Structure 1
Amino acid sequence: MRQHRITGHGGVGLEVFDLGPEDAPPILLIHGWSQHHLSWERQYPLAEEFRLIMPDLRGHGASDKPETPGAFDNSTPWAEDVAAIISALSLERPVLVGWSMGGAVAGDYIKHFGDQAISGFCLVDSFATTGTHMAEEARVARLADDAVVATGMTSSDQAANVSATLAFVRACFHQQPNADDLARMVGFNMLCPPHIRKAARQRNEDYRPYLGKMRVPALVLWGAHDRPAPPMVGQVAAAAIPTAKTLVYEDCGHSPFWEEPDRFNADLTQFARHCFEMEPGT
C-alpha cells in the first residue's frame, strides 16, 4: 500500500492510499460521511487488476481537519479535492465510485469539472439530491430514523457521541458486521470530529442538471434494505443519469460492498472493464 500526502482545496492536506499496479486502470473509491478509506478493505482484491485510489476525505481519517464550516458546507472544497487527487497522481481517466456522501462528493466534482477527465461514474447507495432537494418520501424516512439522523454524532458529549456513532454504524448494514468489525468501524468513524460531521451535512445540492449532461458510462446500485439512503434515493439518481444502469442488492442495506463483497467486486470489475474499453466521447 502506497500512501500520499496531497494538497487539496484551501491547502488542506489529504491522506490518500494507493493499492495495485501504478500503470493499471485507476478506480477512485470515495467513502461516506464520517467514514474512512478502510471502509473499502473488502475491495482490496480488485488491486490485482486495477489501481485503487482511496482517500481519507477532508476532515476524516488521517486527513487535515479544518475548523471552519466553510471547508465542508459547499461543493467547491470537495470537488477541488477530487481534482487535486486526479492531478497529483496523474490518474488517466479514472472511474469514480462514491458511497453515500462520497457519491455527493463525486457529484460535486461533476458539477465543477464535468466528466471529460473520467471513464465512468458509479454511485453506491448515494444521492443525486441532498437536503431540501431530496425526494420527500426519502427525506421523511430518514428523519423518522433516529440512528440515521444521528444527532449525537455532532455532540461534544462524548458518551452521547459514541452511542450515536454505534447506532449509526449498525444502521448502515442489513447484514450486520461481527463484533470485531463493528468495533473497528466505530473506531474509524470516531476519527471524524463532531463539528465536521455537522458541517458536512449542511448541504442542499441538486446534482441532477450536471449528472444529466454526463456521457460516460454510469452505474447506480443500492441495497433494498438501505436506511440512510432509502431505495427512492437510488431511483432518483438513476433517473437523472442518461447512461445509468442499475443494480439492486436485495439482501443488503447501505453497504453492499461490505455485505456482499464478492458480488460487488464482480459487478464493479465488469463495469470498470466496460468503462476502460470505451474511447472518450463514445
Structure 2
Amino acid sequence: MILNRVRENPIPKTNDRFVSLYKKCWQHEPDERPPICQVIEELDSIDPIINNLPTNSNKSKITQDKDSDLNITTYIIIAQVPIHTFPIETVNYYVSGGNGIQIYVEEKGNPEKTTILFTSGYMASRQSWHPLCDKPRDVKAYSLELSGQDLQAVITKIKTDKPNKKIITVGWSMGTPTTMTFMKNNPDIKIDGFISVVGMVHLNFTEASLNTEEIVKYSIAANDPDYKFSTIAYGLNGLSNFRTFKPSSDQYRALKLGDSIIVPPEYRKYEAKPFDFRDFFSSLDIPTLNLIGEEDKLITLEHSLQFANLAKNGKKIVYKDVGHSPPWEDTKSVVRDIIEFVSNI
C-alpha cells in the first residue's frame, strides 16, 4: 500500500513512480486516467513495491492495519473491491417463477460439477438487478413464498435437464428462510446439501438486535412512503453500518449502497411475516453447514448457535472478528469452507 489512509499523503520511502501512477489512476476526470494496458506496462517496468516498504515501526504499523482499510499488495491498489470473473461459456435460459414472472438464468462454470445456488439477502436481489429479469412494481409480488417458487423454477429446470445433478443451496441472511421455504414446500425435489450464511431460522419481529433505535430509524428512511431518493439513500447507507464488524472500505460501502439502491423499493416494502423453521431444519437429513459471524450486529451469536445446534447432520463454523458479511469480510475462509463442504457431498 503506498498511501497512508489519505490519498495525498504517501507513506515515506514509497517508490516515486508508484505514487505518480497511483495519482494518475485517481484523476477526477475519467478521461485523464491512463488505460489499463498502460498501467500494466508501467507496473511491469517498476520494481515490486514490496522492496520499497518502510522498515521497522512504519512497516509494523502497516502489518497491524492490514485488516482494516489498508491492503498490502506487491503492486499498486487500483481498487479494493475484487472483480470476480467467470468462464465465457455460459448456459442461458428463462424460467417462470412465482406469479409467472420471467427470471433470466445464467449457469456459469463447469456444467459437470455440483451446482451451487446462492440466494441473496434483504438488501440485494438478483431478480431485481438483473436487466433481463422481470421487475414487478407491486409490493404483493415479493414474499418468502414467491421467492421460494422462484428457486423451485430454477432447480426444476436444472433437474429436468440433468436428473442426477447434485445441487447445493446457499442462503445468505434472509436468503436462508427463502431457501428453507423452497425446501419445505417441495420435499419431492432432492437437494444434496444446504449452507446458511448468517441466516435466521425464526423471526417474530421482537428480536432486540433488529429493533435498536438506529436500525428502526434507518429502516423507516429506506422505505420512505414518498419514494424520496435522498431519504432512501440515507436509510440504506445507514443500514450499511450493520453489514460488517470492522468499518468497511469506501469502495465496498459504495458498491453495496449502489447494489441496494437499484433494488425496486417494492422489494424492501413487501409485507414480511413471522416465520419459524426450527422444526423443519432439525428434521433435515441432508448435510448442512452454518457459517456464523461472531460479531454479527443483526443476527445474534446466540441465535446462530441455537440454529446450528438443531442440525441432524450439520457442521458450524464461527468466524472471529466478522459481522453480517462473511463472504466479504473473510472471503478466503468462506470460499475455502464452502469448497470443502461441497467436495464432501
TM norm structure 2: 0.67
1:180 aligns with 2:248: no
Map 1:91-106 → 2, pairs under 5 A: 92-106=165-179
1:236 alignment partner in structure 2: 306
Which whole-Å CA distance do the structure 2 matches of 1:105 and 1:274 have between them?
24
1:262 aligns with 2:332: yes
Map 1:178-217 → 2, pairs under 5 A: 178-199=249-270, 202-217=272-287
Choose which of 297, 308, 314 in structure 2 pairs with 1:227.
Answer: 297
Choose which of 200, 224, 229 in structure 2 pairs with 1:158.
Answer: 229
How far did residue 268 of structure 1 move?
Answer: 0.6
The answer on whether the counterparts of 2:209 and 2:299 sit within 8 Å (CA) in structure 1 is no
Q: Cα–Cα, structure 1 residues 131 and 191, in superposed 2: closer, same or farther, change >3 Å? A: farther
**Mean CA deviation greater in 117-126 or 223-232:** 223-232
SS in 2 for 1:212: helix
Which whole-Å CA distance do the structure 2 matches of 1:205 and 1:186 have between them?
27
1:19 alignment partner in structure 2: 108
The answer on whether the counterparts of 2:220 and 2:235 sit within 8 Å (CA) in structure 1 is yes
Name stretches of at least 5 consecutive residues in structure 2 with no aligned partner: 1-85
Q: Cα–Cα, structure 1 residues 203 and 193, in superposed 2: closer, same or farther, change >3 Å? A: same
Q: Cα–Cα, structure 1 residues 78 and 121, in superposed 2: closer, same or farther, change >3 Å? A: same
How far did residue 93 of structure 1 move?
Answer: 3.0
The answer on whether the counterparts of 1:34 and 1:197 sit within 8 Å (CA) in structure 2 is yes
Which whole-Å CA distance do the structure 1 matches of 2:134 and 2:274 have between them?
24
Choose which of 163, 172, 181 in structure 2 pairs with 1:108.
Answer: 181
**Which amino acid is the alignment partner of residue 98 of structure 1?**
G
How far did residue 19 of structure 1 move?
Answer: 2.0
Identity among equivalent positions (%) equals 21
Structural RMSD (CA) = 2.1
2:146 alignment partner in structure 1: 77
Which whole-Å CA distance do the structure 2 matches of 1:19 and 1:170 have between them?
32
Which whole-Å CA distance do the structure 1 matches of 2:264 and 2:296 have between them?
25
**Which amino acid is the alignment partner of residue 244 of structure 2?**
F
Which whole-Å CA distance do the structure 1 matches of 2:215 and 2:150 have between them?
29
Q: How many residues align?
A: 248
Which whole-Å CA distance do the structure 2 matches of 1:115 and 1:153 have between them?
38
The answer on whether the counterparts of 1:128 and 1:236 sit within 8 Å (CA) in structure 2 is no
The answer on whether the counterparts of 1:31 and 1:100 sit within 8 Å (CA) in structure 2 is yes
Higher RCO by CA contacts (8 Å cutoff, separation 6 or greater): 1
Which whole-Å CA distance do the structure 2 matches of 1:115 and 1:28 have between them?
18
- TM-superposition CA deviations, 1:197-219 (whole Å, max 9, x none): 0216x121111222122100001
Rg larger in 1 or in 2? 2
SS in 1 for 2:196: strand
The answer on whether the counterparts of 1:115 and 1:215 sit within 8 Å (CA) in structure 2 is no
1:124 alignment partner in structure 2: 197
Q: Cα–Cα, structure 1 residues 208 and 258, in superposed 2: closer, same or farther, change >3 Å? A: same
1:146 alignment partner in structure 2: 214
TM norm structure 1: 0.81
- TM-superposition CA deviations, 1:83-142 (whole Å, max 9, x none): 11112233623111100011111111122013851110110000111234xxx5xx0121
Which whole-Å CA distance do the structure 2 matches of 1:76 and 1:243 have between them?
26
The answer on whether the counterparts of 1:219 and 1:244 sit within 8 Å (CA) in structure 2 is yes
Which whole-Å CA distance do the structure 2 matches of 1:175 and 1:16 have between them?
34
Q: Cα–Cα, structure 1 residues 129 and 251, in superposed 2: closer, same or farther, change >3 Å? A: same
How far did residue 69 of structure 1 move?
Answer: 3.2
1:9 alignment partner in structure 2: 98
How far did residue 229 of structure 1 move?
Answer: 1.6
- TM-superposition CA deviations, 1:15-65 (whole Å, max 9, x none): 3343211111111111111214xxxxxxxxxxxxxxxxxxx14x4544323
